[in-house]
């Protein structure tokens, strides 16, 4: 059915990485969103979701708060860790700064 075909063409992508690595900039570029970015950590404090359609696929992008680890010591680490284990994205993109 069309619904089954549509679900097979949906790819859930989580953007993770250190604070201020560029996750939200990539999210904005890919999804067409206009989420706030800043040159300091803590700008993204919860997840944001957007979509990208390409070649018959629908990518559901999730911009997650920046973390240095998944140890669950900080609220951000706990949030990202819980998201990954509970939502089980199809792809996890670790965004790193080249500088």
Report the CATH number at residue 72: 3.40.50.300
Q: Is the pTM of this model over 0.75?
A: yes
Confidence of residue 99 (pLDDT cuts 50, 70, 90): confident
CA distance 31 to 25: 10
Structure tokens at 36: 């706030």
- Tally of domains in the chain: 1
Angstrom distances, CA of residue 74 to CA of 3, 52, 69, 78:
39, 30, 9, 6
Q: What is the pLDDT of residue 4?
A: 54
Q: Which domain holds residue 39?
A: 2-95
Q: pLDDT per residue over 72-91, tens digit each? A: 788 889 999 999 999 999 99
């Amino acid at each position: 059915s069309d619904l089954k075909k549509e679900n097979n063409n949906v790819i859930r992508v989580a953007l993770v990485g250190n604070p201020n690595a560029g996750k939200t900039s990539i999210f904005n570029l890919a999804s067409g969103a206009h989420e706030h970015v800043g040159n300091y950590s803590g700008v993204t404090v919860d997840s944001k979701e957007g979509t990208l359609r390409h070649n018959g696929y629908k990518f559901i992008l999730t911009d997650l708060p920046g973390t240095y680890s998944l140890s669950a010591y900080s609220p951000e680490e706990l949030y990202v860790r819980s998201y990954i284990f509970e939502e089980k994205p199809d792809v996890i993109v670790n965004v790193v700064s080249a500088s």
